C-alpha cells in the first residue's frame, strides 16, 4: 500500500483513508446514526451504503456555483437529490494512471446542473456526466459484483 498514491496516512504512519477517509474532503457521507466520513470523489460516496450496509447522506458543493448538494441514499436507491438537477462528473481512462486521486478522483464532483458542469466538460472532453440516480445504480452494482457489498442489509 505504501506505493499507492491514493492512500492517506496519519502522522504515525497509520492508514486513515483509502476511498473512504477520516480526513475532511469536499465530499462528506453521514451514515445513518450520525457518523461522518469523507470521500475523495463524488462517486466514492455512493459506495458507502453498499459497503457499510447503512443508508446515509452525501453532501458536497458544486465547484462551479458553490451551491450545496445533498443526496439522501437508501441501500438500493437514491431517496432524494437537492437540487434535483444535480449531476456527477467522472473520468474513466482507457489506460492505468500514475496517480488515481489526481487524475481521476479530483475530477469527480457533484455539479448543481448540466449547465454548471459546462466548464468542467469543456476542460475534460473525455469526461462523463451522469445523473445522480444512474451513477448511484452503477456504483452499487459494481460493489456487489466486486463482492464488496455488505451482507448486513
Catalytic residues: 41, 44, 105
Please report which residue ranges of the chain form alpha helices under DSSP H. Answer: 42-52, 100-103, 118-123, 132-146
- Residues belonging to the chain: 153
Per the CB < 8 A criterion, the answer to whether 73 and 59 are in contact is no
Distance CA 61, CA 151 (A): 32
Phi-psi region of 42 (alpha: psi -120 to 50; beta: other; left: phi over 0): alpha
Q: What is the sign, positive or negative, of the torsion defined by CA atoms of 76, 64, 18, 16?
A: negative
Amino acid at each position: 500500500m505504501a506505493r499507492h498514491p491514493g492512500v492517506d496516512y496519519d502522522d504515525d504512519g497509520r492508514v486513515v483513508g483509502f476511498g473512504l477517509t477520516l480526513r475532511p474532503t469536499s465530499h462528506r457521507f453521514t451514515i445513518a446514526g450520525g457518523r461522518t466520513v469523507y470521500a475523495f470523489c463524488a462517486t466514492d460516496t455512493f459506495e458507502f451504503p453498499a459497503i457499510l450496509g447503512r443508508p446515509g447522506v452525501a453532501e458536497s458543493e458544486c465547484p462551479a456555483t458553490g451551491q450545496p448538494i445533498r443526496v439522501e441514499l437508501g441501500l438500493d436507491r437514491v431517496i432524494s437529490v437537492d437540487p434535483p438537477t444535480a449531476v456527477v462528473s467522472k473520468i474513466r481512462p482507457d489506460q492505468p494512471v500514475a496517480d488515481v486521486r489526481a487524475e481521476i478522483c479530483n475530477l469527480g464532483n457533484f455539479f448543481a446542473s448540466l449547465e454548471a458542469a459546462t466548464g468542467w466538460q469543456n476542460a475534460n472532453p473525455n469526461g462523463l456526466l451522469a445523473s445522480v440516480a444512474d451513477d448511484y445504480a452503477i456504483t452499487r452494482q459494481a460493489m456487489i459484483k466486486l463482492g464488496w457489498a455488505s451482507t448486513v442489509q
